[in-house]
Amino acid sequence: MGLLSDFGLEDVAVQFARVPMFPIFDLMHYTLSIMYLKHEAGVVDLSRRSPITCWVCSMLCCFGGGMLAAAMLGEPILDPFESNINVFLASVIWYMVFYFPKDLYYRLCSLLPVKLFVVASKEVTRVRKIAAGVAHAHHVYKRGYVVMVAVGIAKGAGSGLLANLEQLLRGVWKPNTNELLNMSFPTKATLLGAVLFTVEAAGWLPLSEEFLILIVTIFLVTTKVTLTAMHSHASPFDPIETPLCGFLFGAAPPDSDGHGHGQSSSGPAAPAQQGKAEPTEPALRKRKSKKAE
């Protein structure tokens, strides 16, 4: 800490933590969330047939994390809608993404330089939300570490976790995949971030919360912007994840085709029809991971 202060990094972190999310960063978050919704199959059609459903799904994409976190903590799930100005801005963005003449807003934001800025802004808001979620849960449960991690994840990656519900609202049902089963990179990063903020809140980390926000933000923004620029959906965690999973759980992570080799150690009670209900479809995962960004 002393060293950090000498380099002035601590000051930078404190300054950065004071940058308000409203309105620019929030607007970018709404824009990207609703753009990903529009990207889904059938949604453009839905926006003509049932604008209300389209609006409700868009709000779920924008505020789903806060709703899930509120439900987890027994608070009103409509809490995120208390702020009229935020709902109004999200609604304006919704209208612009879906109904702007000649689709100009969507096209503009799809241009790579603009998109990189939007993506970076969204990750900035995500880290703030993780930190806020952990802090909020810490306020309610002083020592409930699992609750703190869970609420942090919910706030940071909630709309991805609620994707099945959001799809159901617009009449689409894909039960054989979800964000938990096929975690995208942002969700994994959110999990890691939530653990870090929980460790910090528990007082086991020699770093201030502001500093942690800064470094997690730098990591997430650079990684996500790089991945977006390269049109890649690979996860930078794979090199660590694969051997770690192999060591801890005796198996390769999702991408491998080694369905069979775990069978032998599963005992006599293991059912015969394994691996039928959950196909590992790379194409499915790719579309999914795009969604949850």
**Quick one: tokens of 117?**
């800025």
Q: Is the dihedral of CA 160, 189, 113, 20 positive or negative?
A: positive
User: Which range binds its own copies by CB under 8 A, 9-17, 49-57, 123-131, 217-225?
Assistant: 49-57
Q: By CB under 8 A, what part of segment 89-128 binds its own copies?
A: 98-99, 102-103, 106-107, 110
Residues in binding contact with its own copies, number by CB under 8 A: 88
Binder of its own copies out of 19, 23, 24, 49 (CB under 8 A): 49
User: What is the torsion angle, in degrees rounded to the nearest 10, for the CA atoms of residue 153, residue 216, residue 208 and residue 201?
Assistant: 20
Instruction: Tokens 């775990």: give the residue.
Output: 262
The answer to the question of residue 270 lying near its own copies (CB under 8 A) is yes
**Quick one: tokens of 166?**
């959001």
Binder of its own copies out of 16, 117, 145, 237 (CB under 8 A): 145
Q: By CB under 8 A, what part of segment 55-94 binds its own copies?
A: 56, 70-79, 81-82, 84, 87
What is the rounded distance in angstroms from the CA atom of residue 161 to the CA atom of residue 129?
15
Nearest CB to its own copies, comparing residues 21 and 169: 169
Contact 156, 178 (CB under 8 A): no
Question: How far does CA 107 lie from the centroid of its chain?
Answer: 23
**Cα separation values, 20 from 26, 229, 253, Å:** 9, 26, 39
The answer to the question of residue 281 lying near its own copies (CB under 8 A) is no
Rounded to a whole number of angstroms, the CA Rg of the chain reads: 20
Site mask, its own copies, residues 168-197, x = CB under 8 A? xxxxxx-xxxx-xxxx-------x------
Q: By CB under 8 A, what part of segment 237-266 binds its own copies?
A: 245, 248-254, 258-259, 262-263, 265-266
Binder of its own copies out of 23, 42, 243, 282 (CB under 8 A): 42
